[in-house]
Amino acid sequence: MKTINNPSKETWSQILERPTKTVDDIEKTVIQIFEEVQKNGDKAVQKYTELFDGISLDNNIVSEVEITEALNLVSEDLKVAIQLAKDNITNFHKAQKTEKVFVETANGVECWQEKRPIQKVGLYIPGGTAPLFSTVLMLAVPAQIAGCKEIVLCSPPNAAGKINPAILYTANLCGVTKIIKVGGIQAIAGYTFGTETIPQVYKIFGPGNQFVTVAKQLSTKFGVAIDMPAGPSELLVVADNSANASFVASDLLSQAEHGADSQVILVSTSKELINEVEKEIETQLAVLPRVEIAKKAIANSKSIFVDNDEIALELINEYGPEHFIVCTNNNDFYVDNIANAGSVFIGNYTPESAGDYASGTNHTLPTNGFSKAYSGVNLDSFTKSITFQKISKKGIQNIGNAIELMAEAEGLQAHKNAVSIRLKNLEK
């Protein structure tokens, strides 16, 4: 990790750049695949599955037989762990349910709001070197609680044409209605346009690489909603001399092993801690199975020394981290004043991994600074808020004149007439 001492504000934007390709580098490929899937459906999906995943599939729908096989391949210990995580995630997301909001805004004017589930949702679950069955929990559990009717899951097949058993087991456990062996841009295009085997959905959820992120953003141009732009994983830790250097190093490496384009940042008011963490990183890195991936991510990462907590907080809010760990003598200052973060982890015994798996919060979070405007996935992500209103005769008399005056001032005579006709009818 590169160490930077007391950077001036003018250099912050450059220092905090993510190690990602620009959209321009990726968009051409995404558009080409979208156009082919829109035109040729499953034929195009099959072509790109063979190209990117190295497997030609006669049928990309996961069968009941494959699900049964997966149930037998997952160890009992892992099943227990998945169930514990599911219970905690369920408890946290169930608690997010809100009652109908009802207000009589004026005498005879009743307004209310109700949440209704999004009927068709598409979940994208990365596979590859790290099959993220935990993401199935994070997406399918709230979708099920919200009451979504169709919960479709796409995940790339491995070289044998299979989806990881833990992904299939978890999907089956969480009420996924259809599982399809397809990944990458072609999966998002399938969700966007619909093919012979991939249903068109109303909203797409799930993390992915930069190509998937751009594909999701492109899908919005065709009327499909997305959860958020969620690309390569990132973590920022703020720590001082009260922190445990080995804990901090382990947290930084836990994100670095996600992918070569991941980024981790340490911000500290202690040069001593920065030095200790860097030594710990070298020690822990050497024994990681994904050492080469983590090394590349660490090369894109930084340790930043600043003089005080106020400067640190300002820099962190400028960055807007996906994951934010606070291990300082002044945790409350950061917790109370953080404005831009996807999810916050507080204290020496709250590793980011807890949120990734089993504490109950959702790990599908905004990256690349989008935490400045986007929330992470939550129960409301799978619902729409619909407003209702019911106006009585007395109600239209109470607000009718105001509506007439406002409509006339805007030059919308038909709007005014819609009220005037009713008011005249009541005068009879």
Residue ranges for the known binding site for Zn(2+) are 255, 258, 356, 415
**Residue 281 dihedral angles phi and psi, to the nearest 5°:** -60, -45
Its pTM stands at 0.94
Q: What is the CATH number of domain 23-229?
A: 3.40.50.1980
pLDDT at 410 over 80: yes
Distances (CA, A) of 182 to 54, 129, 220: 12, 15, 20
- Helix-strand-coil split of the chain, %, nearest 5: 50, 15, 35
The average pLDDT across 374-384 equals 97
**What pLDDT is recorded for position 21?**
61
pLDDT of residue 22: 64
Of the residues 323, 363, 408, 427, only one is catalytic, namely 323
What is the crossing angle of helices 165-173 and 133-146, to 10°? 10
| Least confident interval from 55-59, 192-196, 316-320 | 55-59
How far the first Cα of the chain sits from its last, in Å, is: 81
DSSP letter assigned to residue 61: B
Round the CA-based radius of gyration of the chain to a whole number and report it: 25
What would the pLDDT profile of 7-25 be if each residue is shown by its tens digit? 999 999 999 998 876 677 7
Is the pLDDT assigned to residue 226 strictly greater than 70? yes
What average pLDDT score do residues 41-50 get?
97
Reported as a single tens digit per residue, the pLDDT across 303-316 is 999 999 999 999 99
Average pLDDT over residues 388-406: 98
* pLDDT computed for residue 274 by the predictor: 98
d(CA 423, CA 72): 70
DSSP-assigned beta bridge partners for residue 386: 114
70 confidence band (pLDDT: 50, 70, 90): very high
- Under the banding of pLDDT at 50, 70 and 90, the label for residue 210 is confident
**Torsion over CA: 32, 38, 44, 46 (sign):** positive
Q: Where do the H-state alpha helices sit in 74-220?
A: 76-94, 133-146, 165-173, 184-193, 210-219
Question: Residues within the annotated binding site for substrate?
Answer: 233, 255, 258, 323, 356, 410, 415
Average pLDDT over the chain reads: 95
Binding site per annotation, positions for NAD(+): 124, 186, 209
How confident is the model at residue 325, as a pLDDT? 98
Query: Given this model, what pLDDT does residue 401 score?
Result: 98
Residue 274, token pair as written in the block: 């920065």
Query: Which residue(s) pair with 66 in the sheet?
Result: none
Query: Span 260-285, mean pLDDT?
Result: 96
Mean pLDDT score, 83-87: 98
Q: Are 214 and 190 contacting, i.e. CB atoms less than 8 angstroms apart? A: no
Structure tokens at 207: 């993390």
pLDDT at 33 over 90: yes
On the CB side of 65, how many CA atoms lie within 13 Å of its CA?
A: 2
**CA 51 – CA 39 distance, rounded (Å):** 18
List the single range of 20-24, 137-141, 265-269 with lowest mean pLDDT. Answer: 20-24
The residue among 237, 279, 267, 276 whose CA lies nearest residue 254 is 237
Residue 163 — pLDDT band, cuts 50, 70, 90? very high
d(CA 342, CA 399): 42
Distance CA 322, CA 230 (A): 9
Report residue 214's pLDDT band, with 50, 70 and 90 as the boundaries: very high
Average pLDDT over residues 112-116: 98
Active site residue 93: no
Q: Do domains 23-229 and 392-427 have the same CATH topology?
A: no
Q: Where are the domains of the chain?
A: 2-19+232-341, 23-229, 392-427
Q: 228-261, pLDDT tens digit by residue?
A: 987 788 999 999 999 999 999 999 999 999 888 8
pLDDT (0 to 100) of residue 277:
97
Annotated binding-site residues read 124, 186, 209, 233, 255, 258, 323, 356, 410, 415
Q: What does the alpha-carbon distance between residue 84 and residue 427 come to, in Å, rounded to a whole number?
A: 65
10 Å CB burial of residue 347 (0-12, 13-18, 19+) is middle
Q: State how far the Cα of 298 lies from the Cα of 246, in Å rounded to an integer.
A: 16
Nearest-angstrom CA–CA distance, 44 and 373:
35
Average pLDDT (204-233) is 92
Q: Which of 322, 352, 363, 427 is catalytic?
A: 322
CATH 3.40.50.2000 fits 2-19+232-341, yes or no: no
> What class, spelled out in words, does domain 392-427 have in CATH?
mainly alpha
